[in-house]
């Protein structure tokens, strides 16, 4: 983030920085009851939102994994709608070791909510997860999924604040940065002998 800030300051945001003055209110120590109540409300809200989004994402993934384009039930998920969608992104993510269509599909579900990447991965791989994801590819997946574009709600906020053009630019930029950093992490881990 610091490197990107310096890059932006030298290219897109050249010139004198505008002064930023903000008056802050006096701070007081909150009461324990207020803190506990606020924590409970925030945790409850998060759990409700996360559960509903993960549930919806899981149902959608199950449906797309179970049917082909003619809505016939498939026995092999490699011929499903989901495999076709994930197959489009697989060549892009192959250089960073994430070329499996199931991983690509999990990352697509992360656009709804980052939390759904884990549940989607578990649904798609089942018991074969440990045989496909090595420590190297797991680390790469972790780095990429933490850095690539945020969920739909965050993207909507970015678009509302910056406009459509800048919103799309931010999404693309975050995906590119995530890909580059994941490639760097993968390369470093390979150099130190992680397989």
- Could you read off the pLDDT of 38-47 as tens digits, one per residue? 999 988 987 8
pLDDT (average), residues 123-149? 88
| Of the candidate ranges 7-16, 23-32, 98-107, 136-145, the one whose mean pLDDT is the lowest | 7-16
Residue 116 within any structural domain of the chain: yes
Check whether 122 has a pLDDT greater than 90: no
Task: Classify 67 as helix, strand or coil.
Answer: strand
pTM, rounded to two decimals: 0.70
Domain boundary among 72, 107, 125: 125
Residue 112 within any structural domain of the chain: yes
Domain boundary among 77, 108, 125: 125
Domain boundary among 107, 125, 143: 125
Q: Does 160 lie in the same domain as 113? A: no
Q: Does 108 lie in the same domain as 47? A: yes
Cβ atoms of 123 and 62 closer than 8 Å: yes
Give the integer Cα–Cα distance in Å for 93 and 96.
6
Q: For residue 73, give the DSSP letter.
A: B
User: Two tokens at 141?
Assistant: 């997946």
Exposure b/e, 124-160, CB count within 10 A at least 16 = b: bbeeeeeeebeebbebbbebbbebbbbeeeebeebbe
User: How many structural domains are present in the chain?
Assistant: 2
Q: Does 155 lie in the same domain as 119? A: no
**Which pLDDT value is given to residue 90?**
92
Q: φ and ψ at 73, to 5 degrees?
A: -65, 135
Give the integer Cα–Cα distance in Å for 89 and 74.
22
Mean residue pLDDT of the chain comes to: 86
Listed residue (124, 92, 91, 126) closest to 105, CA to CA: 124
Domain that holds residue 192: 134-195
């Amino acid at each position: 983030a610091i490197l990107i800030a310096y890059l932006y300051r030298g290219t897109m945001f050249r010139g004198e920085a505008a002064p930023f003055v903000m008056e802050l209110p006096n701070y007081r120590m909150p009461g324990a009851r207020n803190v506990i109540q606020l924590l409970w409300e925030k945790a409850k809200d998060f759990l409700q939102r996360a559960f509903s989004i993960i549930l919806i994402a899981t149902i959608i993934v199950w449906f797309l994994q179970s049917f082909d384009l003619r809505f016939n039930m498939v026995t092999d998920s490699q011929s499903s709608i989901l495999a076709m969608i994930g197959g489009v992104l697989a060549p892009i993510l192959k250089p960073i070791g994430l070329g499996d269509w199931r991983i690509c599909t999990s990352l697509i579900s992360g656009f709804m909510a980052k939390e759904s990447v884990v549940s989607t991965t578990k649904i798609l791989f089942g018991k074969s997860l440990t045989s496909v994801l090595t420590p190297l590819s797991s680390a790469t997946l972790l780095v990429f999924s933490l850095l690539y574009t945020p969920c739909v709600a965050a993207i909507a906020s970015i678009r509302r604040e910056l406009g459509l053009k800048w919103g799309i630019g931010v999404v693309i930029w975050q995906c590119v940065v995530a890909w580059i950093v994941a490639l760097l992490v993968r390369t470093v881990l390979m150099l130190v002998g992680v397989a």
